[in-house]
A and B are shown apart, each in its own frame.
Chain A
Amino acid sequence: MVAAAGVLYASVASVAALAAVDPGAAVAPRMEFTPPRAGSYVLQKIQLIADATLLDPAGKPTRLSVATTGRITLLTFFYTYCADPLGCPFAYHTLTEVRRGVVEDTRLTKRVRFLSVSLDPTTDTPEAIGRYREMVMRDSTMEWNVLTARSVRALLPVLEDFGQDVSVERGPDGTPRRALHHMLKMFLIDHSGVVREIYTLAYLQPEVILNDIRTLYLEEHSRG
């Protein structure tokens, strides 16, 4: 984690000069504190998820309400053709760090899943997300599901419900290009389908996310 942050720091610092205004030395999101102990705090119930029908890698309709209940779910939006072969480098890096912790904690392994939902159903067909899922599952047996939508129109209500902002880059002639702009967010959802935490770039801290997962586990466990 420390080494990875160092790489990010160096990378970010190298592009600081490209910014229109140099605000000083740029740094990657930092973590200069010891996270509070799991279970020593409450994660608020931020919102219920509105249901929607998405598609799994086999093209089979899948209810979002099913895909986000029964386990603690860490949901993120992505698209497969990011320049990095695994896409969304920082999000992916964070998820793999969290996955390592989940796998090491045997209480969690069968109680946690990751869910990646494509932002680009036009390109990310069921076949495409199937290949992506194979990649992310290659080194782990922890559940990591990937979904897409039938169309942008079918996806828009989901994005609106999650407050996931997306826009499309426009070329000089005004026509849309492939690149999508969106705010990097991860959503931690409890076993009953309620969003309990949202992580944006300022604090995508794997150690904190892992503690939050444990907090939800302990909360559920304490209820029997």
Chain B
Amino acid sequence: MNHGTQKTRMRPGSLLFALLIGASMAWADETCNSPYMSGLIKGQEDFIHVWTLGEPGLGDGSDKLVTIDVNPASSTYGKVLATVSVGGRGEAHHMGFTDDRRYLWAGGLDDSKIYVFDVGTNPGRPRLVRTITDLPDKSGFVGPHTFYALPGRMLIGNLSNSTDKGGVTGLALYNNKGKFITKYDIPTGTVGGVQGDGYGYDIAINPAKNVMLTSSFAGWNNYMRSLGEVVSDPEAMKHFGSTMVAWNVKTMKPTQVMEVPGAPLEIRWALGGGQNWAVTVAALTSKIWLIRQDTKGAWAAKEVGTIGDPAKIPLPVDLSIAADGKGLWVNTFMDGTTHYFDLTDPEHPKETYQKHTGRQVNMVSQSWDGKRVYITSSLLSKWDKAGEDNEQVLRGYKWDGKELTPAFEVDFTKEKLGRPHHMKFTAKAAGQLAYADSAR
């Protein structure tokens, strides 16, 4: 069977299989999904959904979910199969599956709207089924960024607040039906002797340790302003996150603040084989940080590596950890380079490969087996490059452990789609029939 969508089945043999999946998905980077999510794709993904920023004057100008066929065995491999426009432009950015992988929640960093797409019924033809507009009113937060599945719920990491549009923000919890449940402020006071800055960005949970990590970026005032203006404004440059927070997942209370200067962004846990560490990358300082427990059980962040030449501000953005935790892809936006680090010793990441993959590159995602790597180009509408350097593409590569070989490319400008940002995979439910369609 080519497709690997695997779900929990409650027969003994399948139970073990399910345990394997459940235990593994947390550190797989198919790649950065919540450990509470089912249906990990271990085989060939069929589709990539790309949450795409609308571009004025290009196509309908709206943010949209673009679905691309990425199965090499398909006659439409590398082609756009479907687009679902949301009818407005709100700075499309990140998205995340619900725990059952049936729905994809996607957020707008500018308008704070959240769109829920049904990708379970027919993954090749997603449908917009719900729009959530009450995040600012209910939580006081704006800029929904990370969508992290909890059982029956969606935990949303935000970037800003509706009062001053600065970086102090928090997490919002919704149930899967789109109803707001509660919110959690990211600490601005001292926790564990370290001063919090209240900033937010990514979320990553290690269930075995009952710990959640959050990272920190910047508020609306910075991310909706041109990058050139921000970097030339000393006051604006003071308003980037410089902390990570460890939380008790059960109580949802912060237990530690850790100093990680330079805007730590994406967080990836490596939980396999007794691993209980996570990595992040600080965008402004171009450093890799390792988060692990010290001998007393406290979480500690340690700088362990450098990406490119920090003096040139290569701006490392997205990262993708290998399924076994032994490798890490990192994209640096400014120089358009995709880097591979050997993480066999996470205390000493070693760059073993790099390739120029575009004039600007942002997101990077790899398949479970690591043989396919996908990149997109757009960072933020106000931060993307201009003119000829404003290349807007999705590129698919094959990875043999030594070389990234181009497999296909979709030119989002030529196709009049917009600026491609976050990617998520789906697969056809091979060998399964929807319960409602069964003859039982």
Residues of chain A having any CB pair with chain B under 8 Å: 8, 11-12, 14-16, 18-21, 23-33, 35-36, 40-41, 44-47, 78-79, 82-84, 87-91, 120, 122, 152, 156, 159, 162-163, 165-170, 176, 179-185, 187, 195, 197-203, 208
- Inter-chain contact A182/B23, CB cutoff 8 Å: no
- Inter-chain contact A208/B16, CB cutoff 8 Å: no
- A15 and B27 alpha carbons, distance in the complex (Å): 18
Cβ proximity bits B87-98 to A, threshold 8 Å, 1 near / 0 not: 000000000001
Q: Is B238 an interface residue (CB 8 A)?
A: no
**Using Cβ atoms and an 8 Å threshold, which residues of chain A touch B18?**
90, 184, 201
Between A and B, 7 residue pairs with Cβ closer than 8 Å are: A15-B13, A25-B273, A25-B274, A28-B19, A30-B207, A167-B434, A200-B36
| Contact partner, B10, options A156, A165, A182, Cβ 8 Å | A182
Q: What is the CB-to-nearest-CB distance from B234 to chain A, in angstroms, rounded to a whole number? A: 42
Nearest first, the 8 closest Cβ-Cβ pairs linking A and B are A201-B22, A198-B151, A30-B208, A41-B251, A24-B272, A198-B152, A167-B432, A25-B273
Q: What is the CB-to-nearest-CB distance from B322 to chain A, in angstroms, rounded to a whole number? A: 9
**Using Cβ atoms and an 8 Å threshold, which residues of chain A touch B390?**
none
- Stretch from B46-54, B172-180, B193-201, B404-412 at the A interface: B172-180
Are A16 and B100 also in contact (CB < 8 A) when A44-B181, A200-B36 are? no
Residue of B at shortest CB range from A92?
Answer: B10
**Using Cβ atoms and an 8 Å threshold, which residues of chain A touch B209?**
32-33
| Contact partner, B273, options A24, A28, A88, Cβ 8 Å | A24
**Using Cβ atoms and an 8 Å threshold, which residues of chain B touch A27?**
23, 272-273
- A20 and B30 alpha carbons, distance in the complex (Å): 14
Give the one of B23, B211, B368 with max A CB within 10 A.
B23
- A79 and B9 alpha carbons, distance in the complex (Å): 11
Q: Is B131 an interface residue (CB 8 A)?
A: no
Q: What is the CB-to-nearest-CB distance from A9 to chain B, in angstroms, rounded to a whole number? A: 9
Q: How many A-B residue pairs have CB under 8 A?
A: 203
Count B interface residues, CB 8 Å: 73
**Using Cβ atoms and an 8 Å threshold, which residues of chain B touch A33?**
208-211
Q: Is B107 an interface residue (CB 8 A)?
A: no
- Inter-chain contact B10/A87, CB cutoff 8 Å: yes
Residue of A at shortest CB range from B4?
Answer: A20
- A180 and B173 alpha carbons, distance in the complex (Å): 31
- Inter-chain contact B438/A168, CB cutoff 8 Å: yes
- A152 and B437 alpha carbons, distance in the complex (Å): 10
- Inter-chain contact B26/A23, CB cutoff 8 Å: no
- Inter-chain contact B24/A26, CB cutoff 8 Å: yes
- Inter-chain contact B8/A183, CB cutoff 8 Å: yes
A-facing residues in B44-66 (Cβ within 8 Å): none
Residues of chain B having any CB pair with chain A under 8 Å: 4, 7-24, 26-28, 35-36, 38-39, 42-43, 98-100, 102, 120, 150-153, 173, 175-177, 179, 181-182, 207-211, 248, 250-253, 272-274, 276, 323-325, 368-369, 429, 431-436, 438-440
- Seed contacts A21-B42, A168-B440; 13 additional CB < 8 Å A-B pairs: A20-B42, A23-B368, A24-B323, A27-B23, A30-B207, A36-B251, A79-B10, A88-B10, A120-B440, A163-B100, A168-B432, A195-B152, A202-B36
**Using Cβ atoms and an 8 Å threshold, which residues of chain B touch A44?**
173, 181-182
- Inter-chain contact A182/B250, CB cutoff 8 Å: no
Are A47 and B323 also in contact (CB < 8 A) when A21-B369, A184-B10 are? no
**Using Cβ atoms and an 8 Å threshold, which residues of chain B touch A167?**
7, 429, 432-435
- Inter-chain contact B9/A202, CB cutoff 8 Å: no
Give the one of B14, B21, B35, B440 with max A CB within 10 A.
B440
Q: What is the CB-to-nearest-CB distance from A215 to chain B, in angstroms, rounded to a whole number? A: 10
**Using Cβ atoms and an 8 Å threshold, which residues of chain A touch B8?**
181-184, 201
- A19 and B17 alpha carbons, distance in the complex (Å): 8
**Using Cβ atoms and an 8 Å threshold, which residues of chain A touch B23?**
12, 26-30
Q: What is the CB-to-nearest-CB distance from A128 to chain B, in angstroms, rounded to a whole number? A: 14
**Using Cβ atoms and an 8 Å threshold, which residues of chain B touch A120?**
440
Are A156 and B435 also in contact (CB < 8 A) when A26-B24, A82-B12 are? yes
| Contact partner, A29, options B22, B120, B276, Cβ 8 Å | B22
**Using Cβ atoms and an 8 Å threshold, which residues of chain A touch B431?**
169-170
- Inter-chain contact A23/B324, CB cutoff 8 Å: yes
Q: What is the CB-to-nearest-CB distance from B346 to chain A, in angstroms, rounded to a whole number? A: 14
**Using Cβ atoms and an 8 Å threshold, which residues of chain B touch A29?**
19, 22-23, 207-208
- Inter-chain contact B19/A90, CB cutoff 8 Å: yes
Give the one of B120, B151, B368, B434 with max A CB within 10 A.
B151
- A203 and B21 alpha carbons, distance in the complex (Å): 13
- Inter-chain contact B276/A32, CB cutoff 8 Å: yes
- A184 and B8 alpha carbons, distance in the complex (Å): 6
**Using Cβ atoms and an 8 Å threshold, which residues of chain B touch A78?**
10
